A and B are shown apart, each in its own frame.
Chain A
Amino acid sequence: MTETHTGVLAERQAGTPRNASNNATRTAAPSAWYAAPALIMFVGFAIVPLVIVAGLSFTDWDGLNAINFSGLTNWIKAFNDPQTYHSLGLTLQVMALSWIIQTPISLLLGVFTAGKQKYRAVYGVFFFIPLLISAAAIAIAFKSLLDPNFGLGQSLGVPWLSQNWLGDPNIVIYTVVFIIAWQFVPFHALLYQGGVRQIPESLYEAATLDGAGRMAQFFNITLPQLRNTIITSSTLMLVGSLTYFDIVFVLTGGGPGTSTRLLPLDMYLTGFSSYNMGLASVLAVILVVLGLVLSLGLTKFSGFSKMSSELEGA
């Protein structure tokens, strides 16, 4: 599942709750202590670590010895290391490819499964199974399925299929993108399914009376009506692609060479494999900044503040 959510929601839901603003004034409100357990947990294990990771990026911690201040050494090293740019580039590449591949497929599947026909429901039962499976399990399954010597290609006798999916540096990134799509398309299809079901039937009825064909209806009604779903889904996809870790870790470990060493994986390997926790912390900070910039940027770009004011009036 997505491990991070985004500023989309933040923008949308911020502000005072609607009902409360109208009429809660007269009832004595519960004390803020009710929020304390959640706040303590969250600040303790999410906000404080953010501060610590920023601090660690200025130290030489190696996981074994004492932690010493080391100034800007790690930052200079990170920005001089071609690996940092390579990982960053790969992450952006996966982000773009994932969006390009997953969006149309999810959209079509969402439209399809929103239909009421029995067979579509049956399709739906199978579509959503990948959602339930852990990334580790998915990676293990694909690793053996795509084995060039004992897997899929050999058994089908289709030479094209027995390519070195996970071993060829030129192919592997697309394989990873495909497997990530296999894992996440169901989730986004589900979002679109919900979106399609929200479109008022009357719009289609009116269009049919006007003699609009299926295609025209799709482009003139369905797509515009799904605008918000498209934005939500896209934001989740884009920001979510900063968090692909477990599937790549189990599938390729970043290899062959460094062909799939995405930023989160680079961070993990730098920290827990090369024991350079300080340098890894720099990469973690980059990851956080990237996530924040991306989600804030996307919300600004898609004009959510305007929408949330519409919301207030709704």
Chain B
Amino acid sequence: MAIAAPARTTPTTRLASAPRGRKRNRVLPNIPAGITATIWLLIAIVPIYYVVITSLKNQTNFFSGNALLPPASPTLDNYALVLQNNFLAYFANSLIVTLVSVAFAVAFALMAAFAIVRGSLTSRRLRLSFSVFLLGLAIPLQAVIIPIYLMITRAGLYDSLIALILPSVAFSLPLSIIILVNFLRDIPNELYEAMRVDGASNWKMLTTMVLPLARPALTTVAIYDGLNVWNGFIFPLVLTQSPDKRVLPLALWSFQGEFTSNIPAVLAAVVLSTLPILALYIFGRRQLLAGLTAGFGK
């Protein structure tokens, strides 16, 4: 069954190996899919094209010119303006929040997954905690924003990057643990036994054997969590305040107000905020795409 797949091969390795050895009878053109694909290609590209060309226009061009024509004299002024408006600071905030959240989430998830895979037969507590994480998948993040706001303000953490990191880690955990549990299950027991004979502790097994073996799954988890945190909006909206704690998605929203009618500048900020992920996409497209759907089965 399809759902068993993630447990057996990692999505990454599967995707990488997919092109080999599979001949598909896709010789005949698939007309309905081809038409849909071409239309959707246009739909997907036009907004992106529009954002990029508009970000190269000046303000007067924007209000008077044709929205879909590239500017006669492209300008990078908008990018300069955005960069001068603390963009790099927002970028740094996003980077810090994402890296720290992902580090926590991945480390905690790996430890938990290790314990669950190795110990849930003997420990009722571990079985219970796995169920808690599974249940967690169904909690919409929006629904707990009010109590989280209350907790964060009462803890004196309001308007700090830690305020963003804590709930981001918490909400990254369930899916991360499930992906990792599925992966770790496939490490043969013999490997553990061999290490055990050599007198290795569980910690040693985790760090010297499980960690390197699980690297593809860890990358997958890190990508998925990272993208969610990087693009997250509601936690920063509710839990931070001042410009020096602002992360990128929130900065985009604020730019709208600060740049008043300078829409090209706002769109330049949109482009800049997407660039890092786009770079990742260009260099690791397969890995990135695999990371996005891992855990949902194939």
Q: Which residues of A contact B (CB under 8 A)?
A: 1, 3-7, 9-10, 12-14, 16-35, 37-39, 41-50, 52-53, 56, 61, 105, 108-109, 111-117, 120, 123, 125-138, 140-142, 144-145, 150-152, 154-156, 182, 185-187, 190-191, 194-195, 197-198, 201, 204-205, 208, 214, 228-229, 232, 236, 239, 242-243, 245-246, 249-250, 264, 267-268, 271-272, 277, 280-281, 284-285, 287-288, 291-292, 295-296, 307-308, 310-311, 314
The answer to whether B267 touches A144, judged by C-beta atoms less than 8 angstroms apart, is yes
**Alpha-carbon separation in the docked complex, A30 to B32 (Å):** 53
Q: Select B34's contact among A3, A112, A236, A277, beta carbons within 8 Å.
A: A112
**Alpha-carbon separation in the docked complex, A246 to B143 (Å):** 13
Q: Select B146's contact among A16, A53, A111, beta carbons within 8 Å.
A: A53
Contacts A129-B44, A185-B40 hold; do A116 and B137 have CB atoms under 8 A apart? Answer: no
The answer to whether B112 touches A35, judged by C-beta atoms less than 8 angstroms apart, is yes
- Interface hits, B115-144 → A, CB 8 Å: 115-123, 125-127, 129-144
A-B contact pairs, 12 of them (CB 8 A): A9-B134, A14-B134, A25-B121, A49-B147, A115-B30, A120-B37, A132-B227, A132-B274, A140-B252, A243-B140, A267-B146, A288-B140
The answer to whether B1 touches A155, judged by C-beta atoms less than 8 angstroms apart, is no
The answer to whether A134 touches B231, judged by C-beta atoms less than 8 angstroms apart, is yes
Q: A1-B292, A150-B263 are in contact. List 11 more A-B contacts (CB 8 A).
A: A9-B178, A14-B134, A19-B117, A32-B123, A150-B63, A187-B293, A250-B233, A264-B140, A268-B145, A307-B1, A311-B1
The answer to whether A16 touches B127, judged by C-beta atoms less than 8 angstroms apart, is yes
Partner-binding segment picked from B20-28, B73-81, B85-93: B20-28
Say yes or no: is B72 at the interface (Cβ < 8 Å to chain A): no
The answer to whether B104 touches A242, judged by C-beta atoms less than 8 angstroms apart, is no
Residues of A close to B293: CB separation below 8 A: 187, 190-191, 194
The answer to whether A34 touches B30, judged by C-beta atoms less than 8 angstroms apart, is no
- Interface hits, B34-82 → A, CB 8 Å: 34, 36-38, 40-41, 43-48, 50-51, 54, 62-63, 66-69
Residues of B close to A108: CB separation below 8 A: 32-33, 36-37
The answer to whether B138 touches A291, judged by C-beta atoms less than 8 angstroms apart, is yes
The answer to whether B131 touches A13, judged by C-beta atoms less than 8 angstroms apart, is no
Cβ of B79 to closest chain A Cβ, rounded Å: 15
Cβ of B35 to closest chain A Cβ, rounded Å: 9
Contacts A49-B151, A127-B44, A134-B230 hold; do A41 and B170 have CB atoms under 8 A apart? Answer: yes
Residues of B close to A155: CB separation below 8 A: 66-69
Residues of B close to A35: CB separation below 8 A: 111-112, 115-116, 126, 129
Determine the main DSSP class of B at the interface with A: helix
Cβ of A260 to closest chain B Cβ, rounded Å: 15
Q: Which residues of B contact A (CB under 8 A)?
A: 1-5, 7, 11, 15, 18-19, 22-26, 28, 30, 32-34, 36-38, 40-41, 43-48, 50-51, 54, 62-63, 66-69, 104, 107-109, 111-112, 114-123, 125-127, 129-148, 150-151, 166-167, 169-171, 173-175, 177-178, 181-182, 184-189, 192-193, 196, 202-203, 205-206, 224, 227-228, 230-234, 237-238, 248-250, 252-253, 256, 263, 266-267, 270, 273-274, 277-278, 281, 285, 288-289, 292-293, 295-298
Residues of B close to A239: CB separation below 8 A: 138
Instruction: Please give me the 6 A-B residue pairs with the lowest Cβ-Cβ distance, nearest first.
Output: A45-B170, A29-B119, A34-B115, A194-B298, A52-B147, A134-B231
Residues of A close to B108: CB separation below 8 A: 37-38, 41
Contacts A32-B123, A195-B298 hold; do A130 and B50 have CB atoms under 8 A apart? Answer: no
**Alpha-carbon separation in the docked complex, A100 to B4 (Å):** 28
CB closest chain-B residue, reference A144: B263
